[in-house]
Chains A and B, each alone.
Chain A
């Protein structure tokens, strides 16, 4: 077993060099991680020098360090946002007490579960994206894919650090298991459904990073409020990196739309077959991809009514998005929240105790944020003078979890019959033909400054580098 040079290989601000227990745990785990990365990390790219942003410390000057690095040599690191002296738990029944620096016994099982669930999504993304490098539409996009990958890897490290440092033997076993599950594996799948879906093409990747990584933003934001201080500080730092993933998604889809609009204007047509013949992705297909990724992702927030969610909030483990900026009592006893339900074939609202609706509260915040970005995509169409507008479907559409699992709802929110669903499914969700068409466009473009036909170049390069900068050196 090779020993680790702690300050160089694992930049950290958790005093790793002096923590023998943690060192031993990581020395066991780290070679397994590298071996997992070797097997499941981006395919065929281990020798590339990639222009990566690497955190080397948590201060403003240190966490966005840009340089060409080989991905296996990326400095994964363990970073926590600097602690705030005398931080208090600011919601739930422990409100006003000092934040916990160690895990309280009575919350141990729940905290571990939260951390494992979050941690499991990180390697899952890497696994889902491992083949995409072979079909990147440009060197710029390839670099962004690799950046997303290494940051998912680092986020895995962040969760594994918490498991190792605070959960003893159980934690070590859970950390091992994170490297053993595989996305989409029938026998040992990843914990959450969306992370077992395939990311077969770049449009899916952009949708995933826009919608599903945005779920990451909201989950991490809720955990960043936690009364368990190490979890709050870890996730706070992760949020700064998660933003990059959402950027890749938002700008990626936006560039696809921009290119499509350009071709529609050149050909003066909205005929799907002509648009496809010109080698770009028609807006109807883009809309179907939105419908799919959006609906799959909002399932990630869990059941609309959940006693677990109430417990997590009440016991101070997981807050709401921007908990600190809300001006209610932060305990929510006796407060109600309106949920959607189905009665007599119609959608109706009913009131439930807000504490039991915490998943829905977070989901609704997420929805607001998602919709705003779709509005920005529409500005691209508006600017191009095209009348079509993209939308997100109704939140009851295509749900597999919670009240709407098994209920057929159209994108506009009408409850419909199974027959109507079957008759229209191909209009609302990507069909095998859509996926085959999008797949047919995928092909590697690797010359600096060149872009695949179906996507527009970005407005600006990474770190103020030019768009035709050599973001990846293939050696």
Chain B
């Protein structure tokens, strides 16, 4: 394979050597010694930095506030950074991977699928999992040694009349172990080669089923995949991986790598509450968590579930029917449709504001864990809504936010 070794994407913290005055403030401020220097440069250790931002506001120059999206396996080493006169441009391998994915993206293409990077925002969200999360396995299967899975189901989730073609795809691993937790993702290697003759990059998908399988007791998982037919400008583009997956037949096989993800995980203590906010196929991890809780409902779990779920229309919302069938006292579900004819546009953040009192009640509780998944653009709106709700209810977002991050209770995963 020519592809990268791992498709785990990292937002790497870097210091601009052209602007930095080497005053040592950042190194002094960093609570976990992620910053060091030589005679030439101040640099950040990618494997230590957790993006806590403690160094950012004390920096007098602004040099500290630089980030590059890279593949984790290809993060810039400190020795490399010591030699820099200027920051490298965003680009190289990670960018290739992302670009390949973005070509399939597109407005409204809320495919957990598309850009090869599902990006965990560790700057604004937590860098640690909930304390009671189970310990995940990661990177068991790589490009060099992928796992072959068999398609055992492929159903269209959205109404046939809608443009939005979202599929629920079930993959079975037979007797090969592929242990996953809710919130994790996997990579799919689409067959064939890109126009440059190299093998396609892997595409990353959130897993939509709980840890004990799409079908309990079976070694299988499910994915939520949206077929991509347009790019961001609305031009006709056929998604490399999403079309491949949506067209799979029962019995076909696919190459899988992963699992990935070690922070966007659910708490396991019985009284923990889940506040879930998603759009489109960003619902995949939420489905996994909800299903896990539903199956154990009678085993003493007392935590509340509150879901804010956005889509363009009701018909384009995956899992709409099954969601409506869940008991109201099990999950508090709130929909936001942005393209219902004759109705004003409503986004998840609008509905969150309408339910401010109940959201605030959850925010007030130290057992509440927040999950956000969908297109990158949704992060700002959701965080602003959380801030407004917290501040209105005397919860001081300025102090609550860092606490949520530190305690592994705010998880942002977007693409």
Contacts and interface: CB of A to CB of B under 8 A. Distances in A.
B62 A460 contact: yes
Given A217-B23, A464-B65, A459 B18 contact: yes
A250 B29 contact: no
Contacts of A251: 19, 21, 61
Interface residues of A, number: 26
B85 A379 contact: yes
B57 A243 contact: no
A243 B60 contact: yes
A247 B61 contact: yes
B302 interface: no
A240 B85 contact: no
B353 interface: no
A372 B22 contact: yes
Contacts of B399: 61
B4 interface: no
Contacts of B28: 236, 239-240
Given A243-B24, A243-B25, A60 B54 contact: yes
B19 A240 contact: no
A246 B61 CA distance: 10
Contacts of B24: 239, 243
B39 interface: yes
B31 interface: yes
B22 A373 contact: yes
A244 interface: yes
Contacts of B23: 217, 242-243, 246-247
Interface string B208-223: 0000000000000000
A64 interface: yes
Nearest to B30: A60
Contacts of A463: 57, 62
**A interface secondary structure, majority:** helix
B25 to A, nearest CB: 5
A462 B402 CA distance: 23
Interface residues of B, number: 24
Interface string B30-70: 01000000010000000000000111011011100100000
A64 B58 contact: yes
Contacts of B29: 60, 240
A370 to B, nearest CB: 11
Contacts of B60: 243-244, 246-247
A421 interface: no
A372 B24 CA distance: 14
A240 B28 CA distance: 8
A56 to B, nearest CB: 12
Nearest to B62: A460
Interface in A417-475: 459-464
A167 interface: no
Contacts of A379: 18, 85
A63 interface: yes
A243 B23 CA distance: 6
A240 B25 contact: yes
Interface in A240-260: 240, 242-244, 246-247, 250-251
Contacts of B53: 60
A224 B58 CA distance: 18
Given A64-B58, A244-B60, A464-B65, A250 B25 contact: no
A246 B21 contact: yes
A242 B23 CA distance: 9
Nearest to B31: A60
B329 interface: no
Contacts of B62: 459-464
B398 interface: yes
Contacts of A244: 60
A244 B57 CA distance: 12
Contacts of B31: 60
Interface in B4-33: 18-19, 21-25, 28-29, 31
B22 A64 contact: no
B58 A240 contact: yes
Contacts of A459: 18-19, 62
A60 B28 CA distance: 11
Contact of A61 (B21, B25, B398): B398
A247 to B, nearest CB: 4
Contacts of A242: 23
Contacts of B19: 251, 459-460
Contact of B57 (A60, A236, A372): A60
A263 B232 CA distance: 43
Interface string B394-413: 00001100100000000000
Residue among A243, A372, A459 with the most chain B CB within 10 A? A243
Contacts of B22: 369, 372-373
Residue among A217, A247, A251, A464 with the most chain B CB within 10 A? A247
A373 B21 contact: yes
A236 B27 CA distance: 13
A45 B56 CA distance: 29
A242 B399 CA distance: 27
B18 A247 contact: no
B84 to A, nearest CB: 12
Nearest to B53: A60
B65 A243 contact: no
A251 to B, nearest CB: 7
Residue among A66, A379, A461 with the most chain B CB within 10 A? A379
Interface in A350-377: 369, 372-373
A34 B54 CA distance: 33
A58 to B, nearest CB: 11
A250 B402 CA distance: 33
Interface in B174-229: none
Contact of B21 (A236, A247, A462, A464): A247
A236 B58 CA distance: 13
Given A240-B25, A373-B22, 14 more contacts: A60-B53, A60-B55, A63-B58, A240-B28, A243-B24, A244-B60, A247-B21, A247-B61, A372-B22, A373-B21, A460-B19, A463-B57, A463-B62, A464-B62
Interface of A: 60-61, 63-64, 66, 217, 236, 239-240, 242-244, 246-247, 250-251, 369, 372-373, 379, 459-464
Top 7 nearest A-B pairs by Cβ distance? A243-B23, A64-B57, A60-B54, A244-B60, A247-B60, A243-B25, A250-B21
19 contacts: A60-B53, A60-B57, A60-B58, A61-B57, A64-B57, A217-B23, A239-B28, A242-B23, A243-B23, A243-B24, A246-B23, A247-B23, A372-B22, A373-B21, A373-B22, A460-B62, A462-B62, A463-B62, A464-B65
